[in-house]
Amino acid sequence: MAVAHGVPALAEPVIPVRRRWIGLLFAANLGLWMAFFTPVQIVLPEQVEALVSHDKELWLSLVTGVGAVVAVIVNPLAGALSDRARPRFRGKAYGRRHLFTLSGILASAIALLGLSEANNLLAVTLWWALAQVGLNVMLATLTAAVPDRVPVSQRGLVSGWIGMPQALGLVMGAILVTAVVTTIAPGYLLLTIGLLVLAIPFALFTPDDALGPAPVAKIRWKLDLKGNPDFAWAWGTRFLVQMGNALGTLYLLYFLSDDVHYPDPDTGLLYMILIYTVGMILTAMIGGYISDRIGRRKIFVIWSGILIAIAATLLAIWPTWTVSLVAALLFGAGYGVYLAVDTALITQVLPAAADRAKDLGVINIATALPQVLGPALAAPIVTYLGGYPSLFGLTAAVTVAGAVAVVRIRSVR
């Protein structure tokens, strides 16, 4: 790796990463997203519904909303601390990221086990908040691995590999909690085991450059968005598309039950997730690879947003089982391209090498904040303002707005 500013850890990567490194990062992200999305989509809705007899949507939005607030705070904070960390043991300096990753894994595992024993809404809320602490510490450091070690010419491909686990993790988690086991407590236990087995090897067996003794500027908590307009537009793009994702996916289990009237909503959701994942796998790798080859990012983001909007519009107009499956495929195809290419694009507009994890943590707020605002918007829309057609219509509009916003980014094609 070339040396920048006299600090190897802050160098712009020039040596392509190998398959083993990509595979271990893929596995770590798979464990992370399995532990993140499976509770949100399946286990938490079932747990909340078992604890309350009415207003399940509002209570679920409260639980997930509190967790998202925690995520908004923890992600950039953990990123900033890992940017400046200089861990030492017996006089030997160690890398700045992996210690945080391991700590996040441990906190997440403890929280998931706590959720397995939670028997009231307060306990569920508090344990899920702790889970968000651990998962977002992991997310901050795993996300930073891409600009830390991957050359720009390889980032679309690598981003496709690490974006795919967002869907695949939910599929694997869904299989574990609906097919392997059918009750809540064993489901959380299996998610915990999966997280530990998949995520720990990356932190133990991949390089992690130490920051070293060279002086590095102090943490800048205030972002100069006027001086970094491309970073600001990248944040806005991510926020709007993720808001559309939050609006469109939070209540899918209830949508299948209450609007589609599918006889077995849990199994129906699993089918949708499987088809969604197929669409995502088909496009994430191809989209990232082509984007690297032609050196263009924005056009892929635009078309991915349009494809997601088409899927949401179908659900708004024709709430049938067949249309739900078609929409799941389109949604996955659009989101696969989006995750691969937008992630690569964002790493190219970061303001400073010394603040990679912190700035990516700020970007990750654009992913977490919709988890707060999404439920707050979705619950009254479903309950009082037109139901699921209005919700999916808003999903389409917000997603298109995010796709169009990427045009304002000037430093990336």
- Phi and psi at 88, nearest 5°, equal -135, 145
The Cα–Cα gap between 67 and 227 comes to 32
Least confident of 44-48, 90-94, 336-340: 90-94
pLDDT at 91: 58
Highest mean pLDDT among 20-34, 162-176, 397-411 belongs to 20-34
Least confident of 260-264, 281-285, 307-311: 281-285
Q: Is the pLDDT of residue 5 over 50?
A: no
- Look up tokens 């509009």; give the residue: 397
- Look up tokens 């938490």; give the residue: 44
Nearest residue to 116 via CA among 102, 104, 105, 131:
131
Q: Is the pLDDT of residue 217 over 70?
A: no
pLDDT at 399: 94
CA distances from 76 to 2, 374, 406 (A): 26, 20, 22
pLDDT at 96: 86
The per-residue pLDDT of the chain, averaged, comes to 88
pLDDT at 1: 43
pLDDT at 48: 92
pLDDT at 215: 66
Quickly state the pLDDT bin for 3 (edges 50, 70, 90): very low
Which CATH architecture best describes the domain 20-210+224-408? Up-down Bundle (1.20)
Quickly state the pLDDT bin for 193 (edges 50, 70, 90): very high
Quickly state the pLDDT bin for 2 (edges 50, 70, 90): very low
Q: Quote the percentage of the chain above a pLDDT of 70.
A: 94
For 241, the token pair is 């598309």
- Phi and psi at 386, nearest 5°, equal 110, -5
pTM above 0.85, yes or no: no
Q: Is the pLDDT of residue 408 over 60?
A: yes
* Helix or strand (DSSP H, E) at 400: helix 387-405
Q: How many residues does the chain have?
A: 413
Residues 100-122 have pLDDT tens digits of: 999 999 999 999 999 999 999 99
Rounded mean pLDDT, 159-178: 86
CB 121, CB 183: distance < 8 Å: no
pLDDT at 93: 63
Quickly state the pLDDT bin for 6 (edges 50, 70, 90): low
pLDDT at 366: 87
Rounded mean pLDDT, 155-177: 87
Burial code (b: 16+ CB inside 10 Å, e: under 16) for 297-323 equals bbebbbbbbebbbbbbbbbbeebeeee
Rounded mean pLDDT, 212-240: 78
Q: Is the pLDDT of residue 90 over 80?
A: no
pLDDT at 245: 83
